């Protein structure tokens, strides 16, 4: 491996390539273990392909990653980035130990889905399947325009072929005779929801690509001789693009991971890691020094970003006190519980897009085999899923579709707008894994724009429940009370449960909370009522407005503000963002005149909604907004992201005191209790 900027010396020895690939598997597994999350199954299946490309095929310079003459590699299925990171580290792009200790760690370049702005050598940022081939087509066209001799490679998965955009790219590549483009499909036969053929049949891929005008090679994706031969022959093909169908095994090299869909997105624990490394014959790579480096890196992040938290008089973080306790349950569980309960309605049908168990939409029929005929697996194809649901709704069904929030509101936004909302069709959208709290998957999967995209659509009802209990009630309301498009946003991470079955819930009506005193249970420390029933019978200094899991932080902020600073708050839970409870906002503005909004979203969606209501009514108000400040997130643990981006209650307290033009000391001196 060159230490300067000279070209990489290609290795064609199969034995050495196997050794590099085995080491790559070992390092990828160690990295996902230390990260506590990641995608080991696909990383192991594609490892030999990537090893062949970096060590035996591509023209590149590890110490000069932006070398203009380099071959380009676009990995479209970027959840498999542990494989690419491992091979790049072994090739000399960066320290392999930095990758192992830093995968998905806040502040490192080794994001859960790669970011080319953070890590030199990565050719594109991404994480949304089906886009890599289009980018590769554009890059190959640029090479032709510039007269450059470099070749362009793109690795995709077989399940990824379910995305319609792949076939648009395939058409354009053949139309423009891009013989400088070679795609590779990692055909391991599995995706999150199970076998590719069961989720959504994509075969016969060879015949399909040939019919699109591609030259097709079919090889054993773990046989380096076959791989190198196919890459060599592809380079000699003129007048058309090439695709290599590489038959692989998910989890290759580790017996208990092989051909198991469950290892798609699950990190091995320590005992599993040791067993895997033993099978690879590389247990010696797991040194005490490497373990300590990974531990120290995590501790450094905790210190660095934990210190960004404004200091309160005592620890107010969740469940650090003897009293004010909460249960922590993901809001998605409430969504799944509702589907299980109300799915007996024969009109209700559910459509999944390959993360069905993760977002709990499969709870519709998981334990109800009699409902399986009303469950439709649509594969990795959000646009098609949306318009199929529209067809079902047209005939009187109540379809609910779901995926990651970024995919089920963004990728299919035109279908939602033009077909679902314009036609006012009774389609329901499960906006899964919303907000920054999706954590280690990184910016590509953190849904921070979805509520704006939804609320701007005519005829769309939008709900953002604050906890698992409210999510169950919101889901039932969206499905059975709303006739027309409706979306429910919920989160993946476990968050505080601050409501119960006695908490009022009326679609379109906000709930108003105020702190009454510390209690054994956090939720019992607040009185709550419908906005219509609220009577302002005491002086209040500030109104906090929030929705979704961030609402719990607003409640905690109200607790800190009154306990530490004598600031009395009215806290409004806008669980229904559209139609919004304008009366609750205007009442707060008139009664108090000072409002802070808090949202786990790009700042301004909620804030500007509240400000617009006040401005339209001509009610003066002093306001501030807390949210993501026009930025993407990054890979980290959810609570670390809350610390970094200022979304914790302690940050709301700090912002509130600034808004009230009080210093902490002055506020405390003004306390009345």
pLDDT recorded at residue 662: 77
Write out pLDDT tens, residues 576-620.
Answer: 999 999 999 999 999 999 999 999 999 999 999 999 999 999 999
Q: Lay out the sheet containing 526-530: strands in order across.
A: 526-530, 511-515, 569-573, 542-546, 594-602, 622-628
Q: What gap in Å lies between CA 401 and CA 406, rounded to an integer?
A: 13
Q: Is residue 301 part of a domain?
A: no
Angle at 292 between CA 286 and CA 294, to 5 degrees: 85
By three-state DSSP, how is residue 214 classified? coil
pLDDT recorded at residue 3: 58
Classify residue 509 as left (phi > 0), alpha (psi -120 to 50) or beta: beta
Lowest mean pLDDT among 7-16, 370-379, 452-461, 546-555: 7-16
Give the confidence band of 131 by pLDDT, cuts at 50, 70, 90: very high
Q: Is residue 381 part of a domain?
A: yes
Residue of 647, 327, 323 lying closest to 467 (CA atoms): 327
Helices (H) and strands (E) in the chain, counts: 23, 22
Q: Is residue 550 part of a domain?
A: yes
Considering only residues 312 and 191, tell me which one the structure prediction assigns the higher pLDDT. 191
Residue of 326, 329, 352, 496 lying closest to 432 (CA atoms): 352
What's the mean pLDDT in 124-145? 97
pLDDT recorded at residue 670: 40
Alpha helices in 127-223 (DSSP H): 132-146, 164-175, 196-199, 205-211
Residues 565, 473 share a domain: no
What's the mean pLDDT in 657-666? 76
What lies within 8 Å, CB to CB, of 207 at 6+ separation is none
Residue of 393, 402, 407, 576 lying closest to 485 (CA atoms): 393
Write out pLDDT tens, residues 76-128.
Answer: 999 999 999 999 999 999 999 999 999 999 999 999 999 999 999 999 999 99
Q: Are 43 and 186 in contact (CB under 8 A)?
A: no
What are the distances in angstroms from CA 120 to CA 2, 66, 67, 123, 125?
17, 7, 11, 8, 11
What's the mean pLDDT in 334-351? 98
Residues 144, 34 share a domain: yes
Residue of 293, 306, 296 lying closest to 640 (CA atoms): 306
Q: Are 46 and 83 in contact (CB under 8 A)?
A: yes
Q: Is residue 9 part of a domain?
A: no
The answer to whether residue 664 scores a pLDDT higher than 80 is no
Write out pLDDT tens, residues 618-642.
Answer: 999 999 999 999 999 999 999 999 9
Q: How many CB atoms lie within 10 A of CB 125?
A: 18
Alpha helices in 539-648 (DSSP H): 550-565, 582-591, 605-617, 638-644
DSSP state, residue 410: I
Kindly write down the DSSP assignment for every residue of 445-489, as one continuous string.
G-B-SHHHHHHTSTT-EEE--SSHHHHHHHHHHHHHT--S-EEEE
Residues 524, 457 share a domain: no
Q: What is the mean pLDDT of the chain?
A: 96
DSSP state, residue 631: -
% of the chain surpassing 90 pLDDT: 95
User: Domain range spanning residue 664?
Assistant: 506-669
pLDDT recorded at residue 668: 39
pLDDT recorded at residue 666: 42
pLDDT recorded at residue 667: 41
Q: Is residue 118 part of a domain?
A: yes
Kindly write down the DSSP assignment for every residue of 297-343, as one continuous string.
HHHHHHHHHHTTSPP-SS--STT-SSSSB--EEEHHHHHHHHHHHHT
Structure tokens given for 26: 């070992």
Classify residue 253 as left (phi > 0), alpha (psi -120 to 50) or beta: left
Considering only residues 370 and 670, tell me which one the structure prediction assigns the higher pLDDT. 370
Residues 211, 95 share a domain: yes
Residues 482, 529 share a domain: no
Residues 510, 444 share a domain: no
Residues 551, 522 share a domain: yes
pLDDT recorded at residue 673: 30
Q: What gap in Å lies between CA 504 and CA 85, rounded to an integer?
A: 50
Residue of 369, 390, 45, 298 lying closest to 189 (CA atoms): 45
pLDDT recorded at residue 312: 87
Domain end residue (candidates: 461, 496, 531)? 496
Task: Count how many Cα atoms sit within 13 Å of the Cα of residue 469 in the half-sphere of its side chain.
Answer: 15
pLDDT recorded at residue 4: 66
Q: How many CB atoms lie within 10 A of CB 538?
A: 8
What's the mean pLDDT in 8-25? 96
What's the mean pLDDT in 53-81? 97
Residues 65, 181 share a domain: yes
Specify which residues 596 forms β-bridges with: 544, 624
Give the confidence band of 308 by pLDDT, cuts at 50, 70, 90: confident
Q: What gap in Å lies between CA 366 and CA 368, rounded to an integer?
A: 6
Specify which residues 202 forms β-bridges with: none
The answer to whether residue 321 scores a pLDDT higher than 50 is yes
Residues 240, 95 share a domain: yes
% of the chain surpassing 70 pLDDT: 98
What's the mean pLDDT in 285-300? 97
Cis ω for the linkage preceding 204 (within 30 of 0): yes
* C-alpha 452: how far from chain center: 17
Give the confidence band of 75 by pLDDT, cuts at 50, 70, 90: very high
Q: What gap in Å lies between CA 182 and CA 327, rounded to an integer?
A: 52
Write out pLDDT tens, residues 406-427.
Answer: 999 999 999 999 999 999 999 9
Measured in degrees and rounded to the nearest 5, phi and psi for residue 217 equal: -120, 140
Give the confidence band of 569 by pLDDT, cuts at 50, 70, 90: very high
Q: Is residue 644 part of a domain?
A: yes
Residues 542, 487 share a domain: no
Q: Is residue 315 part of a domain?
A: no
Residues 554, 529 share a domain: yes
CATH number at residue 603: 3.40.50.920
What's the mean pLDDT in 468-480? 98
Q: Lay out the sheet containing 576-578: strands in order across.
A: 375-377, 348-352, 398-404, 428-432, 486-489, 461-463, 576-578
Number of domains in the chain: 3
CATH number at residue 366: 3.40.50.970
Task: Count how many Cα atoms sit within 13 Å of the Cα of residue 390 in the half-sphere of its side chain.
Answer: 18
End-to-end CA gap in the chain: 69
Residues 143, 230 share a domain: yes
What's the mean pLDDT in 429-433? 97
Q: Is residue 4 part of a domain?
A: no
DSSP state, residue 434: B
């Amino acid at each position: 491996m060159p230490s300067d900027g000279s070209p990489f010396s290609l290795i064609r020895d199969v034995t050495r390539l196997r050794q590099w690939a085995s080491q790559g598997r070992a390092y990828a597994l160690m990295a996902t273990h230390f990260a506590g999350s990641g995608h080991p199954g696909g990383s192991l299946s594609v490892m030999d392909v990537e090893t062949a490309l970096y060590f035996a095929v591509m023209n590149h310079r590890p110490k000069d990653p932006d070398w203009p003459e380099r071959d380009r590699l676009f990995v479209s299925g970027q959840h498999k980035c542990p494989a690419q990171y491992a091979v790049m580290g072994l090739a000399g792009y960066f320290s392999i130990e930095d990758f192992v200790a830093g995968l998905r760690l806040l502040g490192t370049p080794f994001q859960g889905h790669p970011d080319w702005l953070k890590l030199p050598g990565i050719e594109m940022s991404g994480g949304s399947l089906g886009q890599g081939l289009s980018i590769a087509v554009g890059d190959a066209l640029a090479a032709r325009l510039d007269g450059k001799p470099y070749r362009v490679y793109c690795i995709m998965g077989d399940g990824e072929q379910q995305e319609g955009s792949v076939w648009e790219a395939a058409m354009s590549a053949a139309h423009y005779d891009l013989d400088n483009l070679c795609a590779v499909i990692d055909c391991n036969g599995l995706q999150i929801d199970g076998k590719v053929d069961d989720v959504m049949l994509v075969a016969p891929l060879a015949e399909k690509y040939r019919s699109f005008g591609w030259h097709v090679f079919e090889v054993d994706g773990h046989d380096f001789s076959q791989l190198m031969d196919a890459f060599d022959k592809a380079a000699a093909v003129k007048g058309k693009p090439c695709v290599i169908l590489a038959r692989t095994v998910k989890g290759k090299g580790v017996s208990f991971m092989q051909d198991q869909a469950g290892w798609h997105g699950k990190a091995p624990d320590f005992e599993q890691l040791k067993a895997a490394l033993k099978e690879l014959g590389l247990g010696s790579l797991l040194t005490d020094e490497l373990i300590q480096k990974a531990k120290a890196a995590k501790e450094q992040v905790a210190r660095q970003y934990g210190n960004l938290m404004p200091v309160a008089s005592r620890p107010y973080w969740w469940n650090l006190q003897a009293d004010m306790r909460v249960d922590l349950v993901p809001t998605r569980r409430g969504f799944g519980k509702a589907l299980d309960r109300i799915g007996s309605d024969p009109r209700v049908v559910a459509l999944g897009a390959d993360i069905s168990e993760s977002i709990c939409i499969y709870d519709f029929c998981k334990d109800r085999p009699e409902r399986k005929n009303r469950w439709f697996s649509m594969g990795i194809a959000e646009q098609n899923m949306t318009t199929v649901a529209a067809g079902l709704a047209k005939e009187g069904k109540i379809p609910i579709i779901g995926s990651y929030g970024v995919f089920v509101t963004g990728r299919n936004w035109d279908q939602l707008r033009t077909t679902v909302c314009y036609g006012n069709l009774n389609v329901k959208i499960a906006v899964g894994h919303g907000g920054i709290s999706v954590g280690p998957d990184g910016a590509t999967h953190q849904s921070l724009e979805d509520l704006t995209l939804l609320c701007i659509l005519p005829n769309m009802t939008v709900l953002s429940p604050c906890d698992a209990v409210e999510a169950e009630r919101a889901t039932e309301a969206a499905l059975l009370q709303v006739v027309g498009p409706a979306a429910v946003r919920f989160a993946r991470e476990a968050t505080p449960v601050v409501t119960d079955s006695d908490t009022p819930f009326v679609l379109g009506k906000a709930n108003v909370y105020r702190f009454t005193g510390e209690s054994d249970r956090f939720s019992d420390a607040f009185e709550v009522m419908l906005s219509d029933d609220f009577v302002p019978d005491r002086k209040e200094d500030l109104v906090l407005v929030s929705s979704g899991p961030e609402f719990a932080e607003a409640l905690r902020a109200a607790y800190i503000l009154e306990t530490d600073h004598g600031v009395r708050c009215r806290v409004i839970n806008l669980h229904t963002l559209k139609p919004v409870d304008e009366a609750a906002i205007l009442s707060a503005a008139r009664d108090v005149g000072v409002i802070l909004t808090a949202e786990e979203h790009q700042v301004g969606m909620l804030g500007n909604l509240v400000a617009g209501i006040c401005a339209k009514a001509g009610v003066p108000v002093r306001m501030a907004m807390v949210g993501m400040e026009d930025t993407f997130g990054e890979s980290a643990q959810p609570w670390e992201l809350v610390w970094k981006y200022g979304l914790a209650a302690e940050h709301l307290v700090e912002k509130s005191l600034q808004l009230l033009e009080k210093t902490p000391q002055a506020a405390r001196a003004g306390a009345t209790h």
